[in-house]
Homo-oligomer: A and B are copies of this chain.
Amino acid sequence: MKKIAVIIGPSQPNVIERKRAYETGKFFADKGYIIATGGLSGVMEEAMKGAKEKGGLTLGIIPTDKKQDANKYCDIVIPTGMGRMRNVLLILSADIVIVCGLSEGTFTEIAYAIAFKKKIFTYGFEIDKPYKIPYVKNLKELESYI
């Protein structure tokens, strides 16, 4: 069974969040992980773009029921027709979750990652409320966890 790294963050990220997602995609693709995201734009697209540059395999779990709504870096598309409820499926598929930035949707994913006891890290910033999430300043720090 292949390991899956789920990379989450805003669909309208700033420059720093975008760079984090891209680097995280590259990093985990290089380690042989599948890169899974919500399959749309922003952090989702950057992470998958990074993964593809390293020859990685990408999985998009998208809110609509139409495969063509996925971004162009998705190798495998699961159209759910479940809207934002698909965030829960995305988290369930994870062996590790990396948070590259925050948005309303991202908080639903973080909350489910905690509820399902998933391994989760923020990359490049800290969250300490409502729960403390382990934090890495650079991706190399993740090597001991994967």
Contacts and interface: CB of A to CB of B under 8 A. Distances in A.
A82 B81 contact: yes
Contact of A75 (B2, B70, B104): B2
For the side of the interface on A, what is the size category?
35 or more
B92 A78 contact: yes
A85 interface: yes
A104 B108 contact: no
Contacts of A134: none
A112 interface: yes
A131 B111 CA distance: 13
A85 B83 CA distance: 12
A97 interface: no
Contacts of A40: none
B116 A107 contact: no
Contacts of A41: none
Q: Which of A59, A74, A107 has the most CB of B within 10 A?
A: A107
Interface string A112-143: 10111000000000011111000000000000
A83 B116 CA distance: 11
Interface in A73-89: 74-85, 88-89
A34 interface: yes
A55 interface: no
A102 interface: yes
